[in-house]
Amino acid sequence: MWKYFAFTQIFSFGLVVFAYITLINGAVIHTDGNLLKMQGSLDGFYIDLLGPYFFVLVFLSYGLTNIMLWTGKKQTALTALVIGIAIYYTVGAPAYFKALNDNQTYPWLAKQISQLLPQADQKSGDAVKITVYLPPDSTSHNGTEIYSGLRTRGFENISVEEYSVEAVKNLKTEKGFVIEKLDGKQSLQGLPVYEFNNQQFVIIPVKK
């Protein structure tokens, strides 16, 4: 019995722990912490999102199914495994869907900016050159999302920068847009407030 559980429980769970600290923690092979991304590794990102609950769920799932297999209850073990997988994907679902929704904020803002621009010339394909200024707390990934969101809508001459008064003064394109995140207390008269995922933004057009 001990040999059975050593291979099916301890050894198997040990491999899972080793894979976790290697791929997610970067403890064995050093990574920059961004190896598993939501868009490219759905299961890996989900495991990272679960945190310590991942080990609890996996250990219990292994333990219950292995005990049932040892006692000859194969059909019950299969049922327990299916239930365990269902619980595994249910526990982290709210946090995972929130992360997915958060990831749509800047693509959605790119769509709003595109609607403020004249469409590209149908013959030449030329479109107005623009610069988009992001809020100070934005990331390089947010900038990529703005750029990609506008490119897919036919606007190719795009520059994305972090907002500063000096950067806006040195605007080099025909038009620009400042994305400003509101904290619930601010208001800018005459400008529509865009709300997405419980966040509010204004898009301020600027010119040379």
Which domain-ending residue is among 68, 85, 102?
102
Whether 156 and 203 share a structural domain:
yes
Whether 98 and 140 share a structural domain:
no
Q: Which of 10-24, 138-152, 175-189 has the lowest mean pLDDT?
A: 175-189
| pLDDT (average), residues 101-106 | 85
Share of the chain above pLDDT 90, in %: 26
CA nearest to 132, candidates 193, 102, 173: 173
Whether 197 and 162 share a structural domain:
yes
Whether 28 and 82 share a structural domain:
yes
Q: What is the pLDDT of residue 179?
A: 94
Q: What is the pLDDT of residue 31?
A: 65
pTM of full prediction above 0.85: no
> Per-residue confidence at 117, pLDDT binned at 50, 70, 90?
confident
Average pLDDT, the chain: 84
Q: How many domains does the chain have?
A: 2
Q: What is the pLDDT of residue 79?
A: 92
Give the CATH number of the domain where residue 110 resides: 3.40.190
Which range of residues forms the domain containing residue 172?
Answer: 105-207
User: What is the C-alpha to C-alpha distance for residues 57 and 138, in angstroms, rounded to an integer?
Assistant: 34
Q: Is 136 helix (H, G, I), strand (E, B) or coil?
A: coil
Whether 135 and 200 share a structural domain:
yes
Six-digit token string for 160: 């994305």
- Residue 195: which region, alpha, beta or left (left: phi > 0; alpha: psi -120 to 50)? beta
Which domain-ending residue is among 73, 102, 131?
102
DSSP 178: E
Of residues 190 and 70, which shows the higher confidence score? 70
State pLDDT tens for residues 55-85. Answer: 999 888 888 898 999 999 999 999 999 998 9
Which domain-ending residue is among 46, 81, 102?
102
Whether 70 and 136 share a structural domain:
no
